[in-house]
Amino acid sequence: MDNPKNNIQLKRETSGQRPVCERVKDYREVNIIRPDNKSKEQASRCMDCGTPFCHWGCPVGSYIPEWNDLMFQGRWAEAFELLDAANNFPEITGRVCPAACEYACVLGINDDPVTIRENELAIIEYAFRRKLIRPRLPVKKTGRKVAVIGSGPAGLACAAQLNKAGHTVVVYEKDPKPGGILRYGIPDFKLEKRIIDRRIDLMKKEGVRFMTSVNVGIDKDAEEVLREYDAVCLAGGSRVPRDLKTEGRGLGGIHFAMDYLVQSNKIVAGEKVPADKIMSAKGKKVVVIGGGDTGSDCVGTAQRQGPSCVVQIEILPRPPACRTDEHPWPVYPLVLKTSSSHEEGCRREWAVLTKGFTGESGQVNALKCARVYFEKNTGGGCPVMKEVPDSDFEIRADLVILALGFRGPEHKGLLERLGIKTDEKGNVATDDKYATSARKCFSAGDMRRGQSLVVWAISEGRKAARAIDEYLMGESELAAI
């Protein structure tokens, strides 16, 4: 870097956000992309460490110090080439990734880490603006055909890599448009769908075909797909929600988070939803059960529908504000995260157990709750949850969103038809080459590893693509990460 003391003299500056009073009135992106000169300045804080732990923290092994240095020097095209070499969709991870790389940044030991995610976003958006990104057709075709089932981040990454290797790739998606959870699960205020469309259009020009509204195993015979293609990658995600089976669960007004988010995204995209099926927070007391990212997305979505109030509850204790000895650097820490959605107006409660629901005329009107604490397990293992005596209380609610995570992939249809073996958690079982129990059938992403991050899905898709390429050709020149 130009000045080796920049990491000391310059302070971390993140991108700005649109004012709360403005952004809650629409679904446009909350964050504002930084000016290029600010991004170059922030890139200069990178110390070009001898051992860059940010590599270790990044599931796709992005060349972070190298492209930071190139960006600082104004060599944007070269920075893009390095970024593109390890990450198929930096315009997506630059917006929605929790940036494990930043928690592993060496500068973060005693100072604020480098703004790696925003630097990544600055590079890729610069490349799109300056038309550095053009369709790259395969140098040669192999004559092999591969079907990728599922167009979420894992499926898209796998398809992009296999197309690069020269195979004919067809992506099957059961929804009307490709993108999977990126399109239907993540709200526009975090990831506008034009960003996905821009990338899908590029992939189409590079030769990838998309077959939408086709549920393989239901609409199209799974065995027929196996006969038609030389290899198949299952990348259908983990969409079976975890339920809360308790008193009053059958009352109206209680919905799964993904159902709520998918419907909202469809409405924002202009799709018609029958009036009697709409799950709206307008004028309602909303309670979101679950303190993770999906719960946060539900909070932000509800805020834009005009609720009377929004409460988010979590059964676990409130996380600490800073890293503790239980999560030492460079591991990803359990710390309190406040999202843009929380900043828009939300009461958050921790260590709250939902014991049941009450209602009137078949509709929910309150949650029956109790405070809990976690006691160390003297026999080892996980802490034991116990109720605080006489701590029962109610939270009034007209709309309840269950954001409790996912139990695994859907087994009915595709997996059953192919006789795919699953592991003890219900996920698709594979060997170390991503091969399933079915001949010439592979798997990647949440369907294989369980519910995880978008960047992990991209990494899985890339690795599966290399394994498939090796299976088809005997060797592969695709990236190993």
What gap in Å lies between CA 60 and CA 165, rounded to an integer? 18
CATH architecture of 145-239+407-473: 3-Layer(bba) Sandwich (3.50)
Residue written as tokens 């690795």?
A: 463
Domains 6-129 and 145-239+407-473 share a fold: no
* Amino acid 5: pLDDT: 78
Residue 12 burial (10 A CB sphere; 0-12, 13-18, 19+): middle
**Residue whose C-alpha is closest to residue 312's, from 336, 334, 333:** 336
Cβ proximity of 28 and 189 under 8 Å: yes
Distance between CA 174 and CA 121 in Å, rounded? 30
Q: Regarding beta strands 363-375 and 393-396, do their DSSP bridges make them parallel or antiparallel, or are they unpaired?
A: antiparallel
CA distance 52 to 403: 35
Residues (pLDDT < 70) of the chain are: 1-2
282: number of Cβ within 10 Å: 12
pLDDT on residue 2: 62
Give residue limits of the domains in the chain: 6-129, 145-239+407-473, 243-404
- Alpha helices, H only, 130-281: 153-164, 181-184, 193-205, 222-228, 257-268
**Residues 210, 204: contact at Cβ < 8 Å?**
yes
Give the pLDDT of residue 6. 82
Q: Output the pLDDT for position 389.
A: 97
DSSP label of 31: B
Q: Which of 294, 261, 242, 236 is nearest to 453 (CA)?
A: 294
Cα distances (angstroms) measured from residue 458 to each of 120, 154, 170: 15, 5, 18
CATH number of 6-129: 1.10.1060.10
Token readout for 368 is: 């029956």
pLDDT in tens, 376-386: 888 888 899 99
At which residue do the structure tokens 């080459």 appear?
Answer: 433
pLDDT, tens digit, 9 for 90 and up, residues 73-132 = 999 999 999 999 999 999 999 999 999 999 999 999 999 999 999 999 999 999 999 999
Please report which residue ranges of 313-453 form alpha helices under DSSP H.
340-343, 414-418, 446-449
pTM of the model: 0.96
Q: Which amino acid is at 148?
A: V
In which residue are the tokens 């709200």 written? 187
Query: Which DSSP symbol is given to 106?
Result: G
Per-residue pLDDT at 199:
98
Architecture of domain 243-404: 3-Layer(bba) Sandwich (3.50)
- Exposed, middle or buried: residue 452 (CB in 10 Å: 0-12, 13-18, 19+)? middle
Paired with 435 in beta bridges are 442
